[in-house]
Structure formats: C-alpha cells, structure tokens
Amino acid sequence: MKAVSVGEGYGRVNLIGEHLDYNGGCVLPLQIKNSIICELSENPEIDCISIASDKYQKTLSIEKLEKRDDWADFIIGSCLFFGKKYSIIIKELSFKISSTLPLGIGLSSSAAITVSTLKALNNFYKKNMSDDELIDLAYGIENIFVGVGGGIMDQFASVLGNRKQALYLNTLSRSYELVNIFDDYNFLIIDSNTKRILSNSEFNQKKELCLSAAKKMDLKNLCEKEFISEKEIKLLSDEEFKVCRHVIEENIRVKKAVQFLKDDNPNEFGKLMTESHSSLSEYYGVSTDELNELVNLSNYFGALGSKLTGAGFGGAVVTLVKNDKVEEFKKMILENYKKAKFV
C-alpha cells in the first residue's frame, strides 16, 4: 500500500544533566542522526488501524484504540490523543514503522516513535500542529497513556534539537538555547549491549525518593536548591540524601558545562561528564559494571570524559573524543570490550 503521509522523529544523546528533567533542572541533549520513520497509508479493508515495525515480526491488527501494554501503545496512544485533540475518529489507517535508532538503550526511541507517528498524522490530516503542541502531545502520550518516562527532555530534543547544536533546556521554565558543539571533537555513543534491567520499577523508585526528599525540604522541585544545609540533611534518609546530592550537584554541573561549551573548552567539559557519571554511579545508583567499565576504558584510551546517557541501568555511554583520534579509539574499545557497538 502506498504511503500517503510520512513523519520522522529523531533520537538524542544527553551530554550532561541526567535525571533532572523530572526535578525541574537543566539538561543538555544533542539530536543524533538515527531516527524513526512512520509511514501512514489508507486501508479501507481494516476497521480501525494496523501497525507494523521493522523491529517486530508481527503486523498487529488493532480493533480498538486502547492500551495493550506492548510496543504498539506508542502508536495507539498517538492516535487516541491526536484524535481527541482534533475531534477526529481515526480508522482505516495502516502504520509502518522503520528505524535506525536502537531501542531501549537510552537514546530516546520512545519519544522518537511518538513524534514520528504524530507528525505523520499531522501531515495526513493537515492540522498545522505547532512544535509546542507536538511536544506536549508526545509527552502526554508517553507519560499518561503509556505510563512511563520522566520529564519533557526527550520530546523537546526530538522536535527542537539538531545535530550541530546541543539543546540547553530549563525543564521548569521551558526556556532553551541552542549551543554549538565543539568543532574538533566528537561525541561518540557506545552501546554496552547489556539489557536495561528492572528499569521501569527502579526508575519510579528513584523518582519517589526525589519527591519525598523535596517534600521534606518543603520544595516543589529539588533543583530549586544549590546546596543542602546540615539541618536539612538530618531530615533525609541516606537514600534520599544520595539522590538529592546527585540532582543538586548535577544541575550545577550542567550550567558549568554549557559555559565550557561556549568557551570552547572540551577538556573541562569532559571532566564534568566523568564527574556526572561518578555521581550517577555512586549517588544515584543507576550505573552498572559494564557501563563503568566502558567509561573507564574510554577515558583510558584518550577520551576527555565519558558518562552513561539516558536513565542508566544498562544501555549506552557517551564519550568525548578528538576527531583525529576517533578511528584508533574505536579500535581499542572494540578490542577491549567485545560486545561494544558504536551507534
């Protein structure tokens, strides 16, 4: 069947500022070349919708737009939320998903699939949806309908980011600035090829700790703070203190990192990436042995800094390497970490 409308959604790599977008902090994602394409075609032979993806074998025939608790939820949710927004009954449509973006490794395939589907629907129904509306709708689908996900970073990066400029986003005020990345250095992404373990429940547990700590300190968002006083420390459990420490210090690191990016200082930027990783590992507790190993190997083989990217619990690492060292660097990593894959 011939596609009558197409939408594309890009993935992102977060350079610094992990677990901050649900704590009212600042983040620094960079869009990547890998994307998801949604092709939409009319199909009068089906009552509702059908969905196929090159990442899954079976074409799904959906009879009712309701939650199924599988990968199709991102497309079903998009149809449901888009239909509701514009008072359209969505039916007799086929969705075909194709992707160059690895899923579930922290490069935001969930936001990319949602954005690509919404763009395809927007083109098909000629609705002129604004970028802000697209971001809000995609965010709602992931958070309310699918029921996972953090803050607004991934949807913002997919819609408003680009590959040459990092998106410095204040997730509370939603103000943002695009900042040029380094000319002579590359942000490389390495997939550790380890499945993300227990990620949803662990993720929600961390979120709960942030909420309870904020409540005890009478804050709406942890990132309102720049330090925790002795008096406040006494209010917090050990676990709460550790997540707070990461969140508050990470937010300060993001602001410094942006300045180093503007000042063209990759050395200092790289140091902050590695500090971020240490904090994610020691205080936030979302790293794994494999991610730590990749970070250590990367820094040993000449990267200026490295960290896990995305929520953690497995997945990918981002590392800053000088352009003329990239080939040698890749060779050394692949020799020393056999399962590694450069994205």
- Beta-strand relationship, 165-170 and 176-180: antiparallel
- Dihedrals phi, psi of 90, to nearest 5 degrees: -85, 120
- Binding status of residue 107 toward ligand ADP by CB under 6 A: yes
- Please, which residues have CB within 8 angstroms of residue 19's CB and are 6 or more apart in sequence? 150, 206, 210, 246, 247, 250, 280, 284, 286, 311
User: Contact 317/306 with Cβ under 8 angstroms?
Assistant: yes
Range in contact with ligand ADP (rule: CB under 6 A) among 51-59, 132-140, 169-177, 242-250: 51-59
**Residue 161 binding result from Mg ion, ligand ADP, none, given CB thresholds of 5 to 8 Å by partner type:** none
Q: Of 299, 54, 35, 45, which is closest to residue 158 (Cα–Cα)?
A: 35
Among 41, 94, 110, 116, binds Mg ion (CB under 5 A): 110
**Residue 276 binding result from Mg ion, ligand ADP, none, given CB thresholds of 5 to 8 Å by partner type:** none
- Beta-strand relationship, 305-309 and 316-322: antiparallel
- Binding status of residue 106 toward ligand ADP by CB under 6 A: yes
- Binding status of residue 71 toward ligand ADP by CB under 6 A: yes
**Residue 155 binding result from Mg ion, ligand ADP, none, given CB thresholds of 5 to 8 Å by partner type:** none
Tell me, yes or no, if 324 is annotated catalytic. no
- Binding status of residue 309 toward ligand ADP by CB under 6 A: no
User: Contact 182/264 with Cβ under 8 angstroms?
Assistant: yes
Cβ at position 52, least distance to ligand ADP in Å? 9
* Secondary structure of 92-126 as H, E, C letters: CEEEEEEECCCCCCCCCHHHHHHHHHHHHHHHHHC
Closer residue to ligand ADP, CB minimum distance, 35 or 299: 35
The three-class DSSP label of residue 84 is helix
Closer residue to Mg ion, CB minimum distance, 23 or 50: 23
Closer residue to Mg ion, CB minimum distance, 146 or 295: 146
Report how far apart, in Å, the C-alpha atoms of 52 and of each of 41, 47, 61, 191 are.
12, 16, 9, 25
Closer residue to ligand ADP, CB minimum distance, 8 or 268: 8
Give the contact letters, 3-42, x = binds to ligand ADP (CB under 6 A), - = no. ---------------------------------x------
- Residues lying near ligand ADP in the complex (CB under 6 A) are found at 36, 53, 55-56, 71, 74, 97, 99, 103-110, 113, 310
Q: Which residues are catalytically annotated? A: 154
